[in-house]
């Protein structure tokens, strides 16, 4: 059912930027602004300067002075993209909020499709990257391995190739800003919230200028943080390993005892004292790992409590008068 909206709904575009002086002006004037004006809707652009060390802040400040639809949030230092994105979401005032990068790799030409899916009822619209001209072999295969491993082992599900380029409804935004987590992954938290969602596929063009600020090392750290924030299974992994080792060593120990001592070694295996000691040590190692898993279970409960996430979120569609 089509969402009941005001005749002229407003939406916000949040753009975190870091050291983008070479391309942010062209991004704004040649890509973003023409597309937004073509939509014919009331909008605002929120640029969040994440402690840039070049002239990025001066450029976006100048843009903001010339256009009242542009707001600039200047962070006091470099807090990282996730915090910068969160700051922009907190500052957004629109009925819907679009999150996108300011390097041109999230094409503004797709905004019309995002807005259309939102109008048709989607509360979260996720951009799915089908092609990236600047993506190297390491990043491409690293991404495939991460999504395959995560979806197979974490208990949660992430859509492969999903990006930070997404639209969230006001209801989703209000739920999102309740998260107090410091080590946050924006897309993971939005996925955790649920809500009605849709997807938009796009080809990622080359950057307007400069190089990607996320290195392979930073992307690896992001992947690890995503896994930890959405899954507690790593805490229990070695417990299962310990249980397997304990069971196997116990079976081997019973077999050795019966074959060697009760039956007088009819198979002629001739187990040495070192072999028997190895079986016993393996049994003890399994017990230790199981004990660690028990501690991990308590840690998991503490971790979930300290995350401070809401127990539940309520969906209040605009078509329903509550």
More confident residue, 321 or 48: 48
User: Smallest Cα–Cα separation from 164: which of 235, 226, 112, 209?
Assistant: 226
More confident residue, 262 or 14: 14
**Computed from CA positions of residues 158, 114, 70, 208, in that sequence, does the dihedral angle turn out positive or negative?**
positive
Tens of pLDDT, residues 12-69 = 899 998 888 888 888 888 888 888 888 888 888 999 998 888 888 888 888 888 888 8
pLDDT in tens, 87-123: 899 888 888 899 998 888 888 888 889 988 988 888 8
- As a whole number of angstroms, the distance between CA 317 and CA 33 comes to 30
pLDDT > 90: what percent of the chain? 4
Q: What is the dihedral of CA 226, 126, 100, 113, to 10 degrees?
A: 170
pTM passes above 0.75:
no
Q: How confident is the model at residue 8 (pLDDT cuts 50, 70, 90)?
A: very low
Domain residue ranges of the chain, discontinuous segments joined by +: 10-230, 233-307
Q: Which residue has the tokens 């050291």?
A: 19
Q: Where are the beta strands (DSSP E) in the chain?
A: 10-17, 42-49, 70-74, 96-99, 124-132, 162-169, 197-204
Pick the CATH number of 10-230 from 3.90.1170.20, 3.30.465.10, 3.30.565.10, 3.90.550.10: 3.90.550.10
Average pLDDT of the residues in 194-211: 78
Q: How far, rounded to the nearest angstrom, does the alpha carbon of residue 8 sit from its chain's CA centroid? A: 32
Q: Which of 125, 108, 92 is nearest to 35 (CA)?
A: 108
What local confidence, expressed as pLDDT, does residue 321 receive? 35
β-strands 96-99, 10-17 pairing: parallel
Q: Residue 281: which pLDDT band, with cuts at 50, 70 and 90?
A: confident
Q: State CA 313 to chain mean position distance.
A: 19
Check residue 14 and give its pLDDT.
Answer: 93
């Amino acid at each position: 059912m089509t969402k009941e909206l005001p005749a002229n709904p407003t939406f916000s575009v949040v753009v975190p930027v870091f050291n983008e002086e070479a391309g942010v002006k062209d991004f704004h004037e040649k890509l973003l602004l023409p597309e937004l004006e073509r939509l014919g809707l009331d909008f605002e652009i929120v640029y969040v300067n994440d402690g840039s060390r070049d002239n990025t802040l001066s450029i976006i400040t100048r843009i903001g002075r010339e256009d009242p639809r542009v707001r600039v949030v200047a962070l006091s230092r470099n807090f990282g993209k996730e915090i910068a994105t969160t700051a922009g979401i907190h500052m957004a005032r629109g009925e819907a909020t679009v999150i996108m990068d300011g390097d041109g790799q999230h094409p503004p030409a797709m905004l019309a499709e995002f807005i259309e899916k939102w109008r048709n009822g989607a509360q979260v619209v996720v951009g799915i990257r089908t092609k990236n001209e600047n993506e190297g072999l390491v990043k491409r295969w690293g991404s495939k391995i991460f999504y395959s491993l995560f979806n197979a082992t974490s208990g949660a599900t992430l859509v492969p190739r999903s990006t930070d380029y997404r639209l969230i409804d006001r209801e989703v935004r209000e739920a999102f800003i309740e998260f107090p987590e410091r080590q946050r992954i924006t897309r993971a938290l939005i996925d955790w919230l649920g809500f009605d969602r849709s997807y938009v596929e796009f080809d990622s063009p080359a950057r307007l200028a400069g190089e990607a600020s996320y290195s392979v090392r930073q992307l690896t750290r992001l992947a690890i943080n995503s896994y930890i924030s959405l899954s507690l299974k790593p805490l229990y992994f070695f417990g299962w390993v310990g249980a397997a080792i304990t069971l196997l060593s116990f079976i081997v120990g019973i077999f050795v005892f019966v074959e060697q001592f009760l039956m007088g070694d009819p198979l002629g295996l001739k187990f040495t004292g070192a072999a028997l000691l190895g079986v016993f040590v393996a049994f003890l190692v399994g017990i230790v790992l199981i004990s660690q898993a028990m501690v991990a279970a308590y840690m998991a409960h503490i971790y979930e409590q300290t995350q401070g996430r809401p127990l539940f979120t309520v969906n209040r569609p605009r078509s329903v008068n509550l």
